[in-house]
Structure 1
Amino acid sequence: MQSTAASLFQPVQLGSLTLRNRVFMSALTRNRSVPTNVPNSVNLEHYQQRAKSAGLIVSEGVLITRQGSEWPHAPGIWNQEQISGWKKITDVVHKEGSTIFAQLWHLGRISHPEAPEQIASGQPVYAPSAISAQGGKFRFLPGAPGYVTPTAIDDPTVLLDLFEQAAINAKQAGFDGVELHGANGYLIHQFLDSTSNKRTDNWGGSVANRSRFGLLALERVIKVFGKDRVAIKLNPAGGYNDMGMPLEETIETFSYFITEADKLGIAYITLVRYLDAFDPVKRGTPHDVLDTYGHLIKNAHVFANGGFTGEEAAATIKAGKASGIFFGIPWITHPDLAKRLQYGKPLDNQVDFATLYGVYYGSEEEQRKGYVDYPAAQYEELAN
């Protein structure tokens, strides 16, 4: 093992779960659940490859309902066929010695009314308030339209019901726990941010009211899995999908939310660092999220995400700023990422952006390219 990476390869206890290392796989939307949004054999192969070395896998965003989807061929978990598809994946991940959480995902205003599943739902695009996000291109739709003005949801508890049912389904599918997607401008983040939430009822206005939806969503899924199998991903610095409040308000809002979420005794809170590449309309508020919020987390593990190198990840853990690090693109291009970091192998596979999100409406075989065909390194010398 490379001495510089040693801190990454100490086990970590996550409630009753023991994670074998601290090199975690972030949720990575890849649009490979063709021809529908049911996990398939190519998805299974992708997860199995990475489960051989990952300490924790968080599934790609799993859509909790037809209403609230965007990407074609992103997997869902609202019906029995999807549950059965995921069960095959969780079984093989466990066989390979890894742990897998389902990331529960509702896109809110980032959906499009002409997306296939949104049409099938027969419902409008819902969000906290009737405010459209800036930017965006739905390249799979004719003319690549942008975001639309959503319909303000009358009763947000309807959406909380969907999160709870999705957790029930995830448990049936064999997931070890669930992570709520509270980042990147999706539904929970939309409730938190005062630029997307202009409600005047008890779901908006004050910091406590804007935090209500996300905290209640956590409570709902805790009912299903127990607190030590529940987590949330947050991106306080914002930017992506047109998120971003003034810095003082950002810190006030997320300090409150994180403190209250931590009181629930959940397993971990992932803090995503600001990345300029994920702030296309320059709405974000760059600040050090680990230094700003990490000290507020007394009960949960602090996990970090956002452009880490292996060396930086090891140093962050060694410094006590986080208990584990999520990687994104490196896991896409290196199915053996954790093993490469452990044995000092180069990360020399280059991402193919042309195939990153698959071929819209392509066959299952076409979806293999840029998904399960990145090579692992050679490790023959380890046998000596």
Structure 2
Amino acid sequence: MTASPKLLESFDLQGLSLRNRVVMAPLTRARAGKDRIPNELMAEYYAQRASAGLIVAEATTISEQANGWNESPGIYTDAMVEGWKLTTSAVHEKGGKIFLQLWHMGRASHSSFHGGKLPVAPSPVKIDNGDEIYTPLSKQPYEVPRALETAEIPGLIEDYRQAAIGAKAAGFDGIELHAANGYLLDQFLQSKTNHRTDAYGGSVENRSRLLLEVVEAVSTVWDSQRVGVRIAPNGSFNDMGSPDFREQFTHVASQLNRCNLAYLHVVDGLAFGFHGLGEAMTLDEFRAVYDGVLMGNCGYDQGSAEQAIASGQADLIAIGRSFISNPDLVERYANNWPLNEDSDMSTWYGGAGPRGYTDFPRYAA
């Protein structure tokens, strides 16, 4: 008998049949090249991992303005849509299911990605944690972003809607909105980065407005039951963390509860950094205000994932790091096989082709 009977049982995700509750978390691997067009190497990588109950493909930019990571993929041109078809076809041929994560980097970008134009954000608040950004030119310090004008917001929402159309045309099974880890939608949610005085800033209700309007817009393309949302209430990545984080994220989860989503994806673990501005929010807190499918993420292993699902804290668990070096992770869980060792981190985020990407061995029984 498997050591993970709950984790490896099938699951009905709002009418989408998943063969287990293991989700491959979105992992930015930066193998799309300078043109940001998904390719055959990426298709091979995802197909290798298609035994996951659900794959959430890597963060994918919705527009040129959304870019800010070297060689990450996009979904805003016909060529990008065609490129992603290689991946969705390869995953579906293996019986897998795959969502696309829609991404706008906001202030976590740099002017060198935008022909010298400053990155945009809710407010002109710079990332200020001592880190630098890898740009097309070299490593550079972060800049003070340009605050989006209120009149620009409808166009931004339309970019998300068009990206949702592209994801559907590319053959994905659904989409996930990236509202975590200090990227644009998270920047609007949090008081640390949102100092606006218009309808999109100030109160927790106003700071939630953009995300909710984006959910509404993409739900005109996809049934809402094929739309997931990812949030990171505890995270410090990209210099995030707000004193009123508990009030903000409790409110946004309660509002998303009305949207009949595929799932709410909560980065509840602290392995990616914790802002330390109070007790960390737990999945139990989200269970209290969110009735739908709940996905936990960050730092889970087989044992803790099984425990979270068996206890009812989560319905699904997203695993990231272990999927990098274990394309057959689910099979290893099912058979209690040992995992491959973690790979060289220098190959994780692009520039290495197949090395550290598609060259990990499956278990030889």
Q: So what's the TM-score if we normalise by structure 2?
A: 0.96
Kindly indicate which of the two structures has a greater share of residues assigned to helix: 1
- Compute the displacement of 1:251 (Å): 1.2
Q: What SS class does the counterpart of residue 31 from structure 1 fall into?
A: coil
Residue aligning to 1:372: 358
Q: What SS class does the counterpart of residue 42 from structure 1 fall into?
A: helix
The whole-number CA distance in structure 2 between the counterparts of 1:332 and 1:162 is: 30
Letter in 2 for 1:127: A
- Compute the displacement of 1:140 (Å): 4.4
Residue aligning to 1:240: 237
- Compute the displacement of 1:228 (Å): 0.7
Q: Identity of counterpart residues, as a percentage?
A: 38
What number of residue pairs does the alignment pair up?
A: 362
Residue aligning to 2:133: 138
Residue aligning to 2:287: 294
Q: Is the 8 A contact 1:167 1:178 kept in 2?
A: yes
Q: Is the 8 A contact 2:233 2:281 kept in 1?
A: no
Residue aligning to 2:37: 38
Find 2:313's aligned residue among 310, 318, 321: 321
- Compute the displacement of 1:142 (Å): 4.8
Distance 1:274 1:315, change over 3 A: closer
Residue-by-residue CA offset, 1:123-176 (whole Å, 9 max, x unaligned): 531111111111332234555212111111113222111100000010000011
Structure 1 residue 217 and structure 2 residue 214: aligned? yes
Q: What SS class does the counterpart of residue 69 from structure 1 fall into?
A: coil
- Compute the displacement of 1:15 (Å): 1.6
Q: So what's the TM-score if we normalise by structure 1?
A: 0.91
Q: What SS class does the counterpart of residue 187 from structure 2 fall into?
A: helix
Distance 1:186 1:87, change over 3 A: same
Distance 1:214 1:185, change over 3 A: same
- Compute the displacement of 1:293 (Å): 1.6
Residue-by-residue CA offset, 1:69-89 (whole Å, 9 max, x unaligned): 111110000000000010111
Residue aligning to 1:150: 145
Residue aligning to 1:312: 304
Structure 1 residue 347 and structure 2 residue 333: aligned? no
Segments of structure 1 that go 5 or more residues without pairing to the other structure are 360-365, 380-384
Residue-by-residue CA offset, 1:150-204 (whole Å, 9 max, x unaligned): 1111132221111000000100000111000010000110000011000001100
Structure 1 residue 101 and structure 2 residue 82: aligned? no
Letter in 2 for 1:93: V
Residue aligning to 1:48: 47
Letter in 1 for 2:308: T
Residue aligning to 2:194: 197
The whole-number CA distance in structure 1 between the counterparts of 2:236 and 2:103 is: 18
Letter in 2 for 1:202: A
The whole-number CA distance in structure 1 between the counterparts of 2:231 and 2:204 is: 16
Q: Is the 8 A contact 1:227 1:264 kept in 2?
A: yes
- Compute the displacement of 1:245 (Å): 1.1
